[in-house]
Structure 1
Amino acid sequence: MKKHVDVAVIGAGHAGLNAIKEILKVTDDWVLINGGPLGTTCARVGCMPSKVAIHLADSYKMTDKLKRYGVSGGEELALDRPAALEHVRDLRDTFVDLVLANTTDEMDGEHLIEEYAELLDPHRLRVGEREITADAIIVATGARSVVPETWRAEFADGILTVDEIFEQEELPASVAVIGLGPIGLEIGQALHRLGVAVTGVDHGERVSRIQDPAVNRAALDIFQREFPLWLAHEPQIERCDGGFRVRSGEREVVVEKLFLALGRRPNLARLRLDRLRVPMGDHGVPICDPETLRVGRTSVYLAGDAAGGIANLQRAAAQGRIAGWNSVHRRKRSWRAHTPMAIVFSEPNIACVGMEWSRFDERSMVVAEQRFGPVGRALIMGQNRGLLRVYAERKSGRIRGASMVGPRCEHLAHLLAWAIEQNMTVKQALAMPFYHPVIEEALQDTLQELNGELTKPKMRGGFATRWIGAGRASIGSAAQV
């Protein structure tokens, strides 16, 4: 069978589905090809089920503090882990159903083909028994968890990733989390709080890609109080009685299962994109125009996690819309990346916004920080460990970046990302309204300190030429809880 369409979209994740929305505004002559489960990575195995598990684990952890709040009596609360996992799956299925109901459930067999695709040339695809030609092709096939081939061959029965963890009827008694990026830290902490003996292992010296050394130290201090974090050594794994022996330097532990969080890699192997005969980047990803998303001079576009980089739903959706528009219009649109923002939904949150610490230059930049220890709202919540650091340009006073670990930093990250996106100065941000008592007062205090650094008097011959106050006084120290 042969079929011709204006546009063929490969992959029914957020990038592919948003591409279809743009294509539909121009033509009904399209096809969506999807060879795996429908329902998007975010809803099935990513953002949503992981946050359900994290919320459940955090809620259970709060029961430890009830006695401090004067709550006592009755039986100690017990966790039914199979029931908890069933709750995670139930909500996961709800999220998937919501996605399907508004997208692929409404597509007929002419538009939705549930098969894997293989590229024959820049305009032809083999899909099962069909050959499909298209004026333009959008590749939005998402990404998959990285599992080293040697480990897959030797330890397959003991390996879990985010693709399998939510399908478990029961959790193992012990787990080594290999890789302490965002996924490893989030799931590792959730498993620990659900009663699993967790050991975190990473070859690097940072957690969750934190570049700012002060924030990284603060994060390590916080999370090492919950479960062991073994850093700076390549993990060595071997089978043994009882499961797997994991070594990191001179330390070792025997665990029942291995949870691998070594990153995600674009799902491109089946597509044979090498047949495009264009320059290739890492992991078989064709090099594309970062603004139009077009691959070389072909009519092929890359969008979402398939294009590589850090996985992010909002980024994938935006790239899908740009690829969809460009596939059906001669006048191309460019994708403009917004202010970078990365949030880890551990407890406390970790977030990095804007300029990375690796680009910090003390000659042209200033930094100020605030610990959450004395922040009133954080004390009330019993979550006052952490550190917020904000960076600004010395000459212009514009806010350029921030890194933080602390309570509800997901909200502080958004405020700072909006400020950076609008090119706000520290003084302009301080002119915004703040309330009391809220976590945002930690940001207010940091901005006050930053403003003080920016307005320090210049010294000539050892004497100050002018004096400017350095913001409101510290409210003192407080014990961290």
Structure 2
Amino acid sequence: MKKYDYDIVIIGAGGAGITASFTGNGFKKKVLLVEKNKIGGECTHSGCVPSKALIKAAKLTYNVTTLKDYSIDLKYKLNTENVMDYVKSIVNKVYEEEKPHSFEERGISVLKGHASFINSNTISVNGENITGKNFIIATGTSPKLPPIKGIDSDYILTNETIFNLEKLPKSMGVIGAGAIGIELAQALNRLGVSVDILLRGDRILKKEEKETSKRIEDILLGEGIEIHKNVKLKKIEDGTIHYLDNGNMGYFSSFEKILVATGRKPNLDNMNLKKIGVDYDSNKIIVNDKLQTSVSNIYAAGDIAGPYRFSHMAEYQGFIAAFNCIFPVKKKTDYSQVLWTTFTDPEISHIGYTEEEAHKKYDNIKVYTETYSHLDRAITDNEQGFVKVICHKDNIVGAHIIGNRAGELIHEIQMLKKFNIPIKKTADMIYAYPTYSDIIRKIGKKAYLDYLNNNLIVKTIKNISK
């Protein structure tokens, strides 16, 4: 007689939950996937997919406005009335591959409803008790709104509601200057929305290199976006944002809509985690390096576990959590290879330490940079940008790219970093010409020349030949 209904019960069907379900199923385990909304989670319905569709539409619109730079004359009239229909169509296209039947055809059971724990081996969904040997909590996060008056008004949008709009507003205030706020601000502005960004600090994209965030700021300003720094919000009233400046009350003129992108909070409501002994705080479920919670047969993965809230990290954790549910020898998470891309135009990609962080961590670092202005393909495409690679001895400890195709270029550096291959090894590789990837070889050449100039034998020969 079976002891449990399922080997693995996964609560939440976003990136982490989907990956975990496929992994468990791939190892011939009986898997249940529980989701109270639609499968796909935030990424499919209110994150990666709709935002990139909107960004693509905005990029095409912007490209038309720059045709004169290529000596092309085109008369046009901008009409974005149906752009949100396009965004919704892309979401639906992706969701077609994530509907319950596609999982059930693989042998993964799917149940729609809210799950709450009765004990460490039992949950209740829609009044039905379900038992499992192991559980993976992958319920994700939701927008965290600042505690100010009027934040619950009809003017307010978050990433969960903005893509439900039928038409774009004429004006929008964007509160928050992280990746979500900046990506959407630029896209909306390019589609004809008058955009103001409000941030409480003095720098947008504060996790990036200072030089990188400054370049993006200059681009946004050049495209007509207003950026207001060190803003202390007080209240929102009839689309008007009231703020405090050196003790004096001020306000920003009425916006048709206001997008709030100021952080995230964990989705833990009514799950009875405290009752069964699962530890959590206001930001996340607390896990060890094997993604186990304080209850050993219950794991957490994805945004709900942190520390990095990206879809690719959710997939990474989803695999590890499922693996550890199955095998006695547990895998550990390794965050030394974390990378991310912010899909502004131009794109920004980031691995490891910034230059400032690396200087604090190591006594001796080498920084190699190359600009797109020395790259023939970028010149023909009229693109600007740069690549920076930060090394300690021969090891890559950080890399930063701003420019066209940054999100693709970063993976070559990621591979070098992961397998401890010095960047100088790319110096004698043959790269196709003209390509953006050739900029990695150019940096490799600089590192190789640096190596030669500091080589004792080379130094000796130079001294003899003087």
Contact 2:148 2:233 (C-alpha < 8 Å) held by counterparts: no
**Alpha-carbon distance change, 454 to 211 in structure 1, aligned in 2, over 3 angstroms:** farther
Number of matched pairs: 452
**Alpha-carbon distance change, 449 to 205 in structure 1, aligned in 2, over 3 angstroms:** farther
Alignment of 1:206-221 (within 5 A): 206-221=203-218
Q: Residues of 1 paired with 2:406 and 2:148: CA distance?
A: 38
Match of 1:472 in 2: none
Match of 1:69 in 2: 70
**Alpha-carbon distance change, 403 to 107 in structure 1, aligned in 2, over 3 angstroms:** closer
Q: Residues of 2 paired with 1:37 and 1:298: CA distance?
A: 28
Alignment of 1:48-59 (within 5 A): 48-59=49-60
Match of 1:132 in 2: 130
**Alpha-carbon distance change, 372 to 201 in structure 1, aligned in 2, over 3 angstroms:** farther
Contact 1:351 1:403 (C-alpha < 8 Å) held by counterparts: yes
Q: Residues of 2 paired with 1:106 and 1:264: CA distance?
A: 34
Q: Residues of 2 paired with 1:124 and 1:372: CA distance?
A: 57
Match of 1:473 in 2: none
Shift of 1:293: 1.1
**Alpha-carbon distance change, 141 to 88 in structure 1, aligned in 2, over 3 angstroms:** same
Q: Residues of 1 paired with 2:424 and 2:440: CA distance?
A: 13
Residue 244 of structure 1 pairs with residue 240 of structure 2: yes
Match of 1:311 in 2: 309
Contact 1:397 1:454 (C-alpha < 8 Å) held by counterparts: no
Match of 2:252 in 1: 253
Contact 1:32 1:112 (C-alpha < 8 Å) held by counterparts: yes
Secondary structure class of the residue paired with 1:342:
strand
Shift of 1:135: 2.0
Q: Residues of 2 paired with 1:373 and 1:232: CA distance?
A: 34
Match of 1:181 among 178, 182, 186: 178
Secondary structure class of the residue paired with 1:404:
strand
The residue type paired with residue 434 of structure 2 is P
Contact 1:207 1:216 (C-alpha < 8 Å) held by counterparts: yes
**Alpha-carbon distance change, 208 to 57 in structure 1, aligned in 2, over 3 angstroms:** same
The residue type paired with residue 5 of structure 1 is Y
Structure 1 residues 377-413: Cα deviation after superposition (integer angstroms, max 9, x where no partner) = 22322222x33221011xx322221123222211221
Q: Residues of 2 paired with 1:352 and 1:165: CA distance?
A: 27
**Alpha-carbon distance change, 457 to 430 in structure 1, aligned in 2, over 3 angstroms:** closer
Q: Residues of 2 paired with 1:34 and 1:42: CA distance?
A: 14
**Alpha-carbon distance change, 238 to 286 in structure 1, aligned in 2, over 3 angstroms:** closer
Match of 2:79 in 1: 80
Shift of 1:237: 4.0
Match of 2:90 in 1: 91
- Please, which runs of 5 or more residues in structure 2 have no aligned partner? none
Q: Residues of 1 paired with 2:139 and 2:22: CA distance?
A: 17
Shift of 1:282: 4.3
Q: Residues of 2 paired with 1:341 and 1:26: CA distance?
A: 28
Q: Residues of 2 paired with 1:379 and 1:26: CA distance?
A: 49
Q: Residues of 2 paired with 1:87 and 1:432: CA distance?
A: 42
Contact 1:158 1:257 (C-alpha < 8 Å) held by counterparts: yes
The residue type paired with residue 373 of structure 1 is S
Match of 1:21 in 2: 22
Secondary structure class of the residue paired with 2:81:
helix
Structure 1 residues 420-452: Cα deviation after superposition (integer angstroms, max 9, x where no partner) = 112111321223223333223433333444445
Shift of 1:174: 0.9
Secondary structure class of the residue paired with 2:214:
helix
Question: RMSD of the alignment, in Å?
Answer: 2.9
Match of 1:478 in 2: none
Alignment of 1:357-376 (within 5 A): 357-361=355-359, 363-376=363-376
**Alpha-carbon distance change, 426 to 5 in structure 1, aligned in 2, over 3 angstroms:** closer
Match of 1:347 in 2: 345
Q: Residues of 1 paired with 2:449 and 2:27: CA distance?
A: 54
**Alpha-carbon distance change, 416 to 303 in structure 1, aligned in 2, over 3 angstroms:** same
Secondary structure class of the residue paired with 1:224:
helix
Q: Residues of 2 paired with 1:150 and 1:175: CA distance?
A: 18
Structure 1 residues 140-174: Cα deviation after superposition (integer angstroms, max 9, x where no partner) = 112222223445x5443111111111111111111
